[in-house]
Amino acid sequence: MDRDLNLGEMIITRLINIAGYSAIIFVGMIFYFLLREGLPTLNEVNFGNLVSNRWYPIEAYFGILPLLGGSLVITIGATLIAVPFGIGTAVYLAEIAPRWVREILKPLVEVLAGLPSVVLGFLGMLVLAPFLRKYLQLPTGLTAFTGSLLLGGMAIPTVVSVAEDAIDAVPKSYRDASLAIGATKWQTIWRVTLPAAKSGVTTAIMLGVGRAIGETMTVMMVSGNAPVLPGGIRALFKPARTMTATIAAEMGEVATGSVHYHVLFFIGMVLFLISLLINITASFVVFRQRQRQERILS
Amino acid sequence: MKCFRFLLPLLILVFIPACSPPETGSGTSPSESQTIENKGSDTIVNLALAWAERYQEIHPEVRISVTGGGSGTGIASLINGTVDVANASREMKPEEIESAEANGIKPVEFVIARDAIAIIVHLDNPVDKLTLGQISDIYSGKINNWKEIGGEDRPIVRLSRETNSGTHVYFLEEVVRLGEKGNQTLFSRDTLLLPSSEGISAEIRQNPNAIGYDGLGYVTEEMKVVAVAEDPEGRYVMPSAQSVNSGNYPIARNLYMYTNGEPAGVIEEYLNWIQSPPAQEIVTELGFVPIKP
């Protein structure tokens, strides 16, 4: 009986161990696979071609700069939309909204997070793009801005739900102390609660950015997919082609092992490195803040 | 504990079939219902679906699954050995045939219908005829405003299918490059590459700046078809079955199906049926042009 229990315990511990390590193993394997399929690019395509500003793979033009630029413009646009709205909503939910409002709003925001991206893309293509074309007097509504708007909308729920948890977790004593020395509610939120929840809020923003840069289907449907190297702020209102949309649109067509195939994996590698960089920066920021906080509190 | 005992075999069940190599059998196994995997061109997909439905009514023992994705996608699947029949709205390129042979696949070509590519604009666009040269200049970026070709003062928004579309490749070679060998003209950089025919028609329907192209079978009442002439002195012709078969409409092409090796069994019967009059009637119904008997 006793031995049986021990055996069971051991197996469970092992399984949980494996589950824990498996995440690392999977990431490692994915990265290895990306490297194996992507690195031949550097041999097959000369570097000048790879950093040129022309992407037309069926004629062997493999300039990835327009794609990188397209992803960047759309992601920055989406971040500029998602961060203020997301954090504003989170602050409202955690600090200001009465209990019953919060109980209705929070699940609703989470439902928004679950909307399939194809559905949003479809709405964007049929409703948002024509609307923007008409009211912003653009040649076409299928622009980077349309993509940014939708991606921003998609990132908001992620930002809200993580940031709200972080703000909610700030001890009540912080707020009480702030209010007791005569600070207004706004001063308390802006100077005390938000800074105290900074690490969680940073994580929320990074997750939101990650969501935006990795999103594929919506962008592919609404941003026009023209591989133009963005120059200046006006690029936001022109069509753009992202790295993710390129991979999604073209991966099906390529013969396994061809140059084009390797280049697509190379783009995947670049995308992976960018997300990795964002995550590492985020955890670095969070880590430093935690150290500082511990110093202050001790 | 119970949970893990249940989960583990489930995981194995999920992963094992995914690892086994794709079956490339040409459907001659003596099982009860035989399946034909058919994939490729988005231009052909509706036609292929209509054929598959009709054929399955006559031959309930045959199952035909049809998917789109673009000619390049279909051909890549044939090369990778995952489909029996690939649909293509362009001929296989020499390098595709090479890589197929390197994979032990021997593509055999069938012409199954013909198609006109219609140049489409918004209903309110006053432009109703263009020469091939003008269309080429529009798509290569030399003409950027509708007023240069007799329209309103509006910027031109160029729409095209993605590069994996056979229609895209055909259009590049025969229209943008005017069919000239050695002509290296490319699509203008700011050409919008849309992933589907629906993407193009949605934009054409609501945007008076847009110009697009698509197979005649996809043209609806909500867009305007432009008459095309080979050169400025030539006759402007609207695309139709007659003008394609008489050779008057300049942007027409064959539609193809490719099999691995000479087809046998159900696939052979299916392809023979496709080329027969009852199947070619469906071609006309869907707005394509039947192959000549």
Residue of A253, A261, A263 to mutate for B, most B C-beta atoms under 10 A:
A253
- Clarify whether residues B25 and B43 are in a common domain: yes
Do B261 and B234 reside in the same domain of the chain? no
Percent of the residues in chain A that have a pLDDT greater than 90, as a whole number: 48
Whether residue B243 is contained in a domain is answered as yes
Greatest C-alpha distance within chain B: 83
Residue numbers of A between 231 and 260 with CB closer than 8 Å to B: 238-239, 241, 249-250, 252-258
Count the neighbouring beta carbons within 10 Å of the beta carbon of residue B115.
29
Chain B: residue whose CA lies nearest to A246: B162
Average of pLDDT values for A208-235?
A: 87
Show the tokens assigned to A264: 């697509």
> CA B40, CA B87: separation in Å to the nearest integer?
5
pLDDT on residue A76? 92
B120 and B246 belong to one structural domain = yes
Restricting to A residues 39-58, those with a Cβ less than 8 Å away from any Cβ of B are 54, 56-58
Residue B52 forms part of a structural domain? yes
Residues in chain B: 293
Contact yes or no for A243/A67 (Cβ under 8 A)? yes
Which residues of B are less than 8 Å from A257 in CB distance? 99
Q: Strands, E, within A41-135: which ranges?
A: 55-56, 61-62
Q: How far is A73 from chain B (nearest CA, A)?
A: 16
A24 at B interface, C-beta within 8 A: no
Residues B10 and B84 in one domain: yes
Give B141's contacts (C-beta < 8 A, 6+ positions apart): B188, B189, B190
Amino acid in the structure at residue A279: N
Average pLDDT per block of 10 residues along chain B, 293 residues long? 41 41 42 81 89 92 89 89 91 88 91 92 93 93 92 92 86 90 88 87 91 88 92 89 87 92 90 91 88 68
pLDDT at B93: 86
Q: Which residues of A touch B202 (CB under 8 A)?
A: 125-126
pLDDT of residue A294: 67
CATH number for B58: 3.40.190.10
- State the DSSP code for A94: I
The verdict on B27 and B103 lying in the same domain is yes
List pLDDT tens digits, range A158-208. Answer: 999 899 999 999 999 999 999 999 999 999 999 999 999 988 898 899 888
B291 is a domain residue = no
Which residues 68-107 of A have a C-beta within 8 angstroms of B?
Answer: none
Distance CA A243, CA B104 (A): 33
For chain A, give percent helix, strand, coil, nearest 5.
80, 0, 20
What are the residue ranges spanned by the domains of chain A?
39-297
Chain B residues whose beta carbon lies within 8 Å of the beta carbon of residue A140: 157, 192, 203, 207, 209-210
CA–CA gap between residue A147 and residue A238 (Å, rounded): 11
Q: How many domains does chain B have?
A: 2
- So what's the pLDDT on residue A1? 52
Nearest by CB to residue A252, choosing from B73, B186, B193, is B73
Residues B124 and B135 reside in one and the same domain: yes
Say how many CA atoms lie within 13 Å of B267 toward its Cβ.
25
Which of B92, B168, B190, B201 is the mutation pick for testing A, counting most A CBs within 10 A? B190
Query: Residue B183: its pLDDT value, please?
Result: 87
Residue B293 lies in a domain: no
Question: How many whole angstroms separate alpha carbon A75 and alpha carbon A205?
Answer: 12
Chain A to chain B, count of Cβ pairs less than 8 Å apart?
95
Q: State how far the Cα of B8 lies from the Cα of A268, in Å rounded to an integer.
A: 31
Q: B190 and A228: CB-CB below 8 Å? A: yes
What chain B residue is nearest to A9 in terms of C-alpha separation? Answer: B1
Q: Whole-angstrom Cα distance, residue B177 to residue B174?
A: 6
Among A5, A67, A140, most B C-beta atoms within 10 A, so best to mutate, is A140
pLDDT value of residue A213:
87
- pLDDT attached to residue A112: 84
Residues of chain B neighbouring A239 (CB-CB closer than 8 A): 190, 192
> Would you call A250 and B194 a contact, using CB atoms and an 8 Å cutoff?
no
Does A12 sit within 8 Å of B1, measured CB to CB? yes
Interface contact A241-B195, CB threshold 8 A = no
Nearest residue on chain A to B168, judged by CA atoms?
Answer: A58
Taking CA A206 as the corner, what is the angle to CA A250 and CA A200, rounded to the nearest 5 degrees?
155
Is residue B245 domain-shared with residue B177, that is, in the same domain?
yes
Locate the chain A residue with the closest alpha carbon to B184: A59
* Residue B231 lies inside a defined structural domain of this protein: yes
Q: Are residues A225 and B4, on separate chains, in Cβ contact within 8 Å?
A: no
**What's the mean pLDDT in A265-292?**
84
Q: Give the ranges where A92-128 is alpha helix by DSSP (H).
A: 99-113, 117-123
* Per-residue confidence (pLDDT) for residue A235, from 0 to 100: 85
Q: pLDDT band for position A296 (50/70/90)? A: low
Would you tell me which CATH number, out of the four given (3.40.50.970, 3.40.50.300, 1.10.490.20, 1.10.3720.10), belongs to the domain A39-297?
1.10.3720.10
Instruction: Show the CA angle centred on residue B114, arms to residues B113 and B120, nearest 5°.
Output: 135
Q: Flag whether B142 is in a domain.
A: yes
- The answer, for A230 touching chain B at a CB cutoff of 8 Å, is no
Mention every residue, 6+ apart, whose C-beta is less than 8 A from residue B154.
A139, B145, B146, B147, B208, B209
User: Can you name the residues that pair with B118 across neighbouring β-strands?
Assistant: B214
Number of Cβ within a 10 Å radius of residue A41: 21
B137 with B258, same domain: the answer is no
CA distance B243 to chain A (A): 31
Provide the chain A residues 135-164 that lie in CB contact (below 8 A) with chain B.
Answer: 139-142
- B126 & B96 share domain: no
**The residue type at A128:** L
Residue B290 is assigned to a structural domain of this protein: no
Q: Which amino acid does the sequence have at B83? A: V
Is B206 in the same domain as B226? Answer: yes
Q: Do B1 and A141 touch (CB under 8 A)?
A: no
- CA-nearest residue of chain A to B153? A139
What range defines the domain where residue B71 resides? Answer: 5-114+254-285
Same domain, B145 and B31: no
Give the residue, B276 or A281, on which the prediction is more confident.
B276
Q: Is the pTM of this model over 0.90?
A: no
User: How does DSSP classify residue A224?
Assistant: B
User: Pick from B162, B164, B209: which is nearest to A140 by CB?
Assistant: B209
Chain A CB contacts of B7 below 8 Å: none
Interface residue A211 vs chain B (CB under 8 A): no
- pLDDT tens digits, A123-170: 898 899 999 999 998 999 899 999 999 999 999 999 998 999 999 999
| Alpha-carbon gap, residue B263 to B83, rounded angstroms | 13
Given this model, what pLDDT does residue B293 score?
52
Other Cβ atoms less than 10 A from the Cβ of A42: the count is 12
